[in-house]
């Protein structure tokens, strides 16, 4: 309570809203199709916000499992299959945490691969943000609408970057969220879509969802297997590395994070809640918008529980009316903040060859992650590249030593020639003409002229020196 009281400020309020660009579109899409329960998602999401804040004492985000959401929407999976997918991933990740196997994965994973995962995730966030902005109408034209257009995206972009380094004092996320909420209210009540759902106050409850064996098998095979690498790498290992960068005074172990992910879904998914996890992108977003302590996500958790209990699924119409242009900009900022961490890949390393190899491994990991849209493939590609570099340097010697020595000697000779040309400009010019295959006699006149000019200028120089 003392910590909550001392850290209660606008920056924490603003930071709590920093990850809404990821949460709202996914939660809305799955709830509208009946694949998750919006009331349960809000209540349990808020509960996990509060518990993780008290556990980790930092703005540890709680966000949907993106791979499961994408597969569920594409394959029109039932709510039981979606719940089974979330529970399957959580069971595997929780076992990795309880047995501390995830700790050894982190220990033997090169930092360049981890930074590559973070960079690739950042680029993926950027592309998803662009997709959200593209849903808005273009500048002007007949299809232009006042509530969701490129003008709002440009406005949000400018606001964010003007106050980029003043997020603790200027709550940019709160400002943008409030503007978007006002727009959503006006749109919902003045120009509602067909079969619009309006917010209605009441007491909303949740019900138990027990998947069948067929649903569990379908959910695990179709969605869990693709989410396990994403959760293990981005939501556990990369998150632990980012937390160490942002909050070095609050060490967070990978086993604790893995157990936290497991507990969230083994409980919440039985009530129809969307599968949740932590994520490095969400932590970066909340930190960028002003969150520095657990107060931010405790506030967010209390708000989620309040709206889940007293408004529940009736909020779907309001969320659907929220301008995607503003959400896209907020998601974009979380991506670039996560990607900025990649600049530390060579901190403390002074060997140029090692720095170059680390950079190549990081780019390889990020490129394969983005290209194949799979964290596991990016991880394996970066790991193979790192192992190949290690084998090459340890067992095959420095293969480029001979080339480097030759290059050094050539550079030394080049510098000597340049110095010689500076000392003897006429002789240097003749030597250059001979190297180029030119006949020195063709330019004899010009050389002689330059010699005469030099001879005429010499007395003037001597005279100046004498004076």
Per-position DSSP letters for 172-227, written without gaps between them: HHHHHHHHHHHHHHHHHHHSPPTT------S----------HHHHHHHIIIIIHHH
Per the document, the length of the chain is: 467
* Of 362, 374, 347, 352, residue with least CA distance to 109: 362
Distance CA 43, CA 238 (A): 27
| Mean pLDDT for the chain overall | 83
Dihedral sign (CA 33, 35, 38, 39): positive
pTM for this entry: 0.75
Domain boundaries along the sequence of the chain: 2-343
The pLDDT of residue 449 is above 70: no
**8 A C-beta contact, residue 386 and residue 393:** no
Token pair listed for 261: 């992910």
Q: What is the pLDDT of residue 409?
A: 53
- The answer, yes or no, to whether residue 109 has pLDDT greater than 80, is yes
SS3 for 63? strand
Q: What is the pLDDT of residues 326-385, one digit of tens each?
A: 999 998 988 888 888 888 899 888 888 899 999 999 999 999 989 988 888 888 999 999
- Give the model confidence (pLDDT) of 239-291 as tens digits: 999 999 999 988 888 999 999 999 999 999 999 999 999 988 889 989 989 89
- Residues 168-177: pLDDT tens digits? 778 898 899 9
Contact 241, 70 (CB under 8 A): no
């Amino acid at each position: 309570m003392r910590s909550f009281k001392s850290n209660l400020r606008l920056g924490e309020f603003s930071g709590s809203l920093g990850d809404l660009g990821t949460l709202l579109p996914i939660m809305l899409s799955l709830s509208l199709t009946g694949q998750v329960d919006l009331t349960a998602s809000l209540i349990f999401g808020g509960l996990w916000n509060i518990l993780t804040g008290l556990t980790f004492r930092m703005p540890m985000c709680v966000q949907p499992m993106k791979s499961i959401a994408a597969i569920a929407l594409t394959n029109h999976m039932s709510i039981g299959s979606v719940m089974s997918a979330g529970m399957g991933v959580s069971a595997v990740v929780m076992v990795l945490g309880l047995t501390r196997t995830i700790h050894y994965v982190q220990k033997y994973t090169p930092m360049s691969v981890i930074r590559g995962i973070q960079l690739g995730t950042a680029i993926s966030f950027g592309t998803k943000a662009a997709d959200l902005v593209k849903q808005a109408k273009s500048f002007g034209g007949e299809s232009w609408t006042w509530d969701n257009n490129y003008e709002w995206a440009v406005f949000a972009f400018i606001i964010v970057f003007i106050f980029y380094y003043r997020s603790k004092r200027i709550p940019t996320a709160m400002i943008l969220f409030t503007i978007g909420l006002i727009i959503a209210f006006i749109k919902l009540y003045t120009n509602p879509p067909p079969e619009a759902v309006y917010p209605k106050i009441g007491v909303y409850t949740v019900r138990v969802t027990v998947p069948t064996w067929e649903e569990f098998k379908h959910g695990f095979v179709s969605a869990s297997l693709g989410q396990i690498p994403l959760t293990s790498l981005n939501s556990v290992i990369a998150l632990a590395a980012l937390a160490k960068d942002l909050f070095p005074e609050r060490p967070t172990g990978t086993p604790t994070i893995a157990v936290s992910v497991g507990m969230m879904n083994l409980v919440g998914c039985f009530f129809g809640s969307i599968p949740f996890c932590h994520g490095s992108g969400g932590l970066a977003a909340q930190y960028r918008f002003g969150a520095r302590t657990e107060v931010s996500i405790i506030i967010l958790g209390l708000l989620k529980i309040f709206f889940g209990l007293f408004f529940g699924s009736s909020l779907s119409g309001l969320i659907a009316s929220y301008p995607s242009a503003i959400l896209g900009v907020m998601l974009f900022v979380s991506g670039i903040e996560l990607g900025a961490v990649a600049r530390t890949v060579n901190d403390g390393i002074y060997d140029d060859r090692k720095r170059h190899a680390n950079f190549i491994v990081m780019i390889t990991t990020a490129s394969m992650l983005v290209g194949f849209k799979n964290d596991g493939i990016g991880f394996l590609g970066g790991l193979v590249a790192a192992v190949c570099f290690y084998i090459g340097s340890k067992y095959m010697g420095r293969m480029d030593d001979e080339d480097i020595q030759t290059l050094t000697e050539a550079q030394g000779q080049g510098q000597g020639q340049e110095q010689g040309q500076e000392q003897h400009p006429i002789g240097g010019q003749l030597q250059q003409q001979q190297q180029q295959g030119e006949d020195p006699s063709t330019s004899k006149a010009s050389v002689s002229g330059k010699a005469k000019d030099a001879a005429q200028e010499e007395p003037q120089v001597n005279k100046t020196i004498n004076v």
